[in-house]
A and B are shown apart, each in its own frame.
Chain A
Amino acid sequence: MTFDLRGFELDGGGEANGGTPAAGSQTETRDPASAALDVLAQSFGVATERGAPGSGNRQRTWLDTFDWRLNRAGLVLEYERTERGSRLLLSRDDLPLAEQPVTGWQPRRPRLAENLPAGPVRDQIFKLVSPRALLPVAWAASTVSTTRLLNADGKTVARLIVDRSTASRDGVSVQLPPRLAIAEVRGYPGQARRAARLLADAPGVSPAPQSTFLEALHALGRHPNDYSGGVIADITAQMPASVAVATLLLGLLDTLEQNVDGTLRDIDTEFLHDLRVAVRRTRSAIKLLGDVLPGGLAASYAAEFKWLGDLTTPTRDLDVHLLGYDAMAGQLVAASPADLEPFRVFLTRRRAREVRRLAAGLRSARFRAITDHWRKALVEVRDAGRPARRRGVTAADLAVATTDRMFRRVAAQGGAISAASAPDALHDLRKRCKELRYVLEFFAPLHDPVTYRKVIGDLKQLQDCLGAFQDSQVQQEEIHALADAMLAERAAPAATLLAMGEIAAVLALSQAGARADFAERFTRFAGPAGQQRFRALLDRFAQ
């Protein structure tokens, strides 16, 4: 027997707070599903079925990460509680993919993927979700009733399922339109199709346009994918440059502020990561594009955003160590993972201290002043539509000039790097590449998407190589510094220090590997073919 609750819905529902029925429906004394049942009763015997699978009351909580990773992958994860027990259900296009029973689950609490109980649902989503936490995105309380549809022998040949749900979130509840579905009984597909046809023609019944999950979300005023860590700026080519820059900086400020609560509650490491990226992008935008803003506005905030960036660095560095810890421990050859355990304990303890410092900074008057005043100033620029200091400069002009300048800089600096160059040359190039990447992303809506994707793809390869080179070096230095700190705190057994030394050696090898890859990746991005692609990207503006 299968249940397909996509199907039909009845007119009605949408009553906020589960309050009084909509005008006109107060005189309605019959259950709205009764009319549909009457239609079916003309062709089938009908009998209420008590205790049918899926019937009764159920509480549903839909879960996703803050950045909608499941939804973006076309997946829906639901925690369901019924009289029969609790389970996690994973589906795609309303078709079940996996389910597993769970006990003691508190769906309102965020839960990291690594803390999910073992089972098929965890297996399917672990990599996709990690290292993010699952958060409740919508709730619904449902009452499901089942009516058996019988043939002339009194045999059940299909079932009518009626689902009455009320969605809720943050104290707001909305009654959803009742949903009807025909469930097929194995071996009787024709009868189920017949019942579905009759139901489709019944008065007040229409095909359900979307899943209960999406219906619940929309009823509660939410939309899937309403958060993205990417740059979202609604800018156009002919927009004054100052308005375009203010618009994209406001977008970055939105992202920054959206991540503050999750960072303060330390829900998962990616809130802080996204917050930091928003800060870095803001700083780059101030540096590279800030001139078009009036009255030295950008320059006056540069130091404030540097402070904010610095505030977040220690915690993030420790996060990086902890996130990569298991992989690091797995690479040990001479030492055993157990030898390294005091290092994890030390990292965790130190992180707790840094998180407190970070939280104090994010709760400070200075932080509030930055975000409040910055927003106010940017809104003024955006809404005034004030022309740029450089009269007549458009977003397109600014995009071409800045992107071209940054590309030339990357090409020149990268081209000067040889096998004998010092590591600092590669570190500096990494910074320039990051700036170029940000500038490309800021003006993404103005570019030809196909060429843009190719340019970004090659740049990303180069950045990954430079990132691996620098991160390996930074981590080696940090491991040395952390070893010193552990010694100072008498928290460093000899076996642990030896294991940390082995990790440092692995990182040094990884750094050497990245260095060896550099020439090829740089040539792919900034060699003749790469330069041609870049020209094609910018020439579009000249047309």
Chain B
Amino acid sequence: MRIYATYNIKGGVGKTTAAVNLAHLSAADGYRTLLWDLDPQGAASFLFRIKPRVKGGGKALIRGTKALDDAIKGTDFENLDLLPADFTYRNMDLLLGDANKKPTRKLAQLLRPLAAEYDHVFLDCPPSISLVSENVMHAADVLLVPLIPTTLSVRTLDQLTEFVGDFTGRRPQIRAFFSMVDRRKRLHQDITAKLSAERSGVAATPIPALSLIERMSVERAPVTAFAPRSQAARAFRALWAELNSDDEKPAGTAAAGS
């Protein structure tokens, strides 16, 4: 089981969009795939038309009174299941903090029993630096970091790389990709081209800013499903091909350069 987590400290950078489309592409490739919508806003759940509700809430999941397995819902797509969001996830930091041992590794521990059932798990994380995000970083094999091509975003990537670099033992691979890229903006073009070429952990495929991607919330489906031949879907497919070809690389090393 390979765990991907879409993460960025900032909101509105395309984490959920990426998680939903990449999970859909993974499932379409025949991998048994689970997407866990960890964001209490429940955007990924909404996009799959699944109610953002877990019986017993985040507390039951974290304390283990409800197995993750029991909360999973089938999506409309073959091989793709979803663990829905719940509004109580907003308190997940506190719940994780209550864990007696290794509070930063609780999510990894909860996900372990799913290894026989799924090939890929995608974690769609809320934007923050918190115990939740630290848990996600310890659980993930690959941190997928969407970056809007601005100087500040690049600084965020540096900070994240440094933070993960301080982990003892197992460390996730960091794979950044440019998101919401506006080709009409010179700055976007420059930063995208420069970083993709210079930094090994940055994917070559950018995800463009397209209104069709915004339409996902109207269609309530991945763009790769409702417009599979669109430019947006092609971009996600190319990104997925890049990421999936990394699978043979050993996990647990910080791949991004300094």
Which one of A52, A153, A154, A188 lies within 8 Å of B74 (CB-CB)?
A188
> From B76, which residue of chain A is reached at the shortest CB distance?
A156
Contact A187 B76 (CB under 8 A): no
B interface residue count range (under 10 / 10 to 19 / 20 to 34 / 35 or more): 10 to 19
CA of A539 to CA of B49, assembled, Å: 76
Contact A187 B78 (CB under 8 A): no
* Chain B residues whose C-beta falls within 8 Å of the C-beta of A52 in the assembled complex: 78
* Chain B residues whose C-beta falls within 8 Å of the C-beta of A187 in the assembled complex: 71-74, 81
> From A53, which residue of chain B is reached at the shortest CB distance?
B78
Contact A155 B72 (CB under 8 A): no
Which one of B71, B72, B73, B220 lies within 8 Å of A154 (CB-CB)?
B220
Contact A154 B49 (CB under 8 A): yes
Contact B74 A186 (CB under 8 A): yes
> Is residue B48 within 8 Å, beta carbon to beta carbon, of the partner chain?
yes
> Is residue B216 within 8 Å, beta carbon to beta carbon, of the partner chain?
no
CA of A1 to CA of B74, assembled, Å: 7
Contact B49 A153 (CB under 8 A): yes
Q: Mark B76-89, 1 if CB is under 8 A from A, else 0.
A: 10100100000000
* Chain A residues whose C-beta falls within 8 Å of the C-beta of B73 in the assembled complex: 185-188
Which one of A53, A153, A186 lies within 8 Å of B72 (CB-CB)?
A186
- B28-59 at interface with A (beta carbon < 8 Å): 48-51
Contact B78 A1 (CB under 8 A): yes
Contact A148 B74 (CB under 8 A): no
Chain B interface helix/strand/loop/mixed: loop
Chain A interface helix/strand/loop/mixed: loop
Contact A148 B76 (CB under 8 A): yes
CA of A154 to CA of B75, assembled, Å: 11
* Chain A residues whose C-beta falls within 8 Å of the C-beta of B78 in the assembled complex: 1, 52-53
Closest chain-A Cβ to B8's Cβ sits at a distance in Å of 28
A interface residue count range (under 10 / 10 to 19 / 20 to 34 / 35 or more): 10 to 19
- A113-169 at interface with B (beta carbon < 8 Å): 148, 153-156
> From A156, which residue of chain B is reached at the shortest CB distance?
B76
Q: Give the most central of A52, A156, A187: most B CB within 10 Å.
A: A187
CA of A153 to CA of B72, assembled, Å: 18
Contact B49 A155 (CB under 8 A): yes
Which one of B51, B81, B220 lies within 8 Å of A186 (CB-CB)?
B81
- A48-84 at interface with B (beta carbon < 8 Å): 52-53
CA of A154 to CA of B72, assembled, Å: 18
CA of A187 to CA of B70, assembled, Å: 8
* Chain A residues whose C-beta falls within 8 Å of the C-beta of B49 in the assembled complex: 153-155
Q: Give the most central of B71, B76, B220: most A CB within 10 Å.
A: B76
* Chain A residues whose C-beta falls within 8 Å of the C-beta of B220 in the assembled complex: 153-154
- A166-196 at interface with B (beta carbon < 8 Å): 185-188
* Chain A residues whose C-beta falls within 8 Å of the C-beta of B51 in the assembled complex: 153
> From B82, which residue of chain A is reached at the shortest CB distance?
A187
- A183-217 at interface with B (beta carbon < 8 Å): 185-188
- A462-482 at interface with B (beta carbon < 8 Å): none
> From B220, which residue of chain A is reached at the shortest CB distance?
A154
CA of A148 to CA of B71, assembled, Å: 22
* Chain A residues whose C-beta falls within 8 Å of the C-beta of B81 in the assembled complex: 186-187
Q: Give the most central of B49, B50, B51: most A CB within 10 Å.
A: B49
* Chain B residues whose C-beta falls within 8 Å of the C-beta of A53 in the assembled complex: 78
CA of A187 to CA of B66, assembled, Å: 14
CA of A520 to CA of B19, assembled, Å: 73
* Chain B residues whose C-beta falls within 8 Å of the C-beta of A186 in the assembled complex: 72-74, 81
CA of A369 to CA of B108, assembled, Å: 78
> From A51, which residue of chain B is reached at the shortest CB distance?
B78
Q: Mark B214-254, 1 if CB is under 8 A from A, else 0.
A: 00000010000000000000000000000000000000000
CA of A53 to CA of B78, assembled, Å: 7
> From A148, which residue of chain B is reached at the shortest CB distance?
B76
> From B81, which residue of chain A is reached at the shortest CB distance?
A186
CA of A185 to CA of B48, assembled, Å: 13
CA of A186 to CA of B71, assembled, Å: 9
Q: Give the most central of A1, A53, A148, A154: most B CB within 10 Å.
A: A1
Closest chain-A Cβ to B121's Cβ sits at a distance in Å of 15
* Chain A residues whose C-beta falls within 8 Å of the C-beta of B50 in the assembled complex: 155
CA of A187 to CA of B71, assembled, Å: 7
Closest chain-A Cβ to B7's Cβ sits at a distance in Å of 26
CA of A377 to CA of B178, assembled, Å: 91
* Chain B residues whose C-beta falls within 8 Å of the C-beta of A154 in the assembled complex: 49, 220
> From A187, which residue of chain B is reached at the shortest CB distance?
B73
CA of A53 to CA of B76, assembled, Å: 12
- B198-228 at interface with A (beta carbon < 8 Å): 220
> From A185, which residue of chain B is reached at the shortest CB distance?
B74
Closest chain-A Cβ to B229's Cβ sits at a distance in Å of 16
* Chain B residues whose C-beta falls within 8 Å of the C-beta of A148 in the assembled complex: 76
Q: Mark B145-171, 1 if CB is under 8 A from A, else 0.
A: 000000000000000000000000000
Closest chain-B Cβ to A62's Cβ sits at a distance in Å of 26
* Chain B residues whose C-beta falls within 8 Å of the C-beta of A156 in the assembled complex: 74, 76
CA of A155 to CA of B71, assembled, Å: 17
CA of A52 to CA of B48, assembled, Å: 17
Closest chain-B Cβ to A533's Cβ sits at a distance in Å of 52
Which one of A1, A155, A188 lies within 8 Å of B48 (CB-CB)?
A155
CA of A148 to CA of B74, assembled, Å: 13
CA of A187 to CA of B50, assembled, Å: 10
* Chain A residues whose C-beta falls within 8 Å of the C-beta of B72 in the assembled complex: 186-187
CA of A53 to CA of B71, assembled, Å: 23
Closest chain-A Cβ to B246's Cβ sits at a distance in Å of 27
* Chain B residues whose C-beta falls within 8 Å of the C-beta of A1 in the assembled complex: 74, 78
CA of A86 to CA of B81, assembled, Å: 26
CA of A285 to CA of B50, assembled, Å: 73
CA of A1 to CA of B82, assembled, Å: 12
Closest chain-B Cβ to A145's Cβ sits at a distance in Å of 16
CA of A53 to CA of B32, assembled, Å: 14
> From B219, which residue of chain A is reached at the shortest CB distance?
A154
CA of A75 to CA of B48, assembled, Å: 39
* Chain B residues whose C-beta falls within 8 Å of the C-beta of A153 in the assembled complex: 49, 51, 220
Closest chain-B Cβ to A101's Cβ sits at a distance in Å of 12
Closest chain-B Cβ to A51's Cβ sits at a distance in Å of 9
Q: Mark B117-160, 1 if CB is under 8 A from A, else 0.
A: 00000000000000000000000000000000000000000000
Listed from nearest, the 5 A-B pairs whose CB atoms lie closest are A187-B73, A186-B74, A155-B49, A185-B74, A156-B76
Can you list 20 A-B pairs with a CB-CB distance of less than 8 A?
Answer: A1-B78, A52-B78, A53-B78, A148-B76, A153-B49, A153-B51, A153-B220, A154-B220, A155-B48, A155-B49, A155-B50, A155-B76, A156-B74, A156-B76, A185-B73, A185-B74, A186-B72, A187-B73, A188-B73, A188-B74
Beyond A1-B78, A185-B73, A187-B71, 6 additional contacts (C-beta under 8 Å) are A148-B76, A153-B49, A155-B50, A155-B76, A156-B74, A186-B73
Chain A positions near chain B (C-beta within 8 angstroms): 1, 52-53, 148, 153-156, 185-188
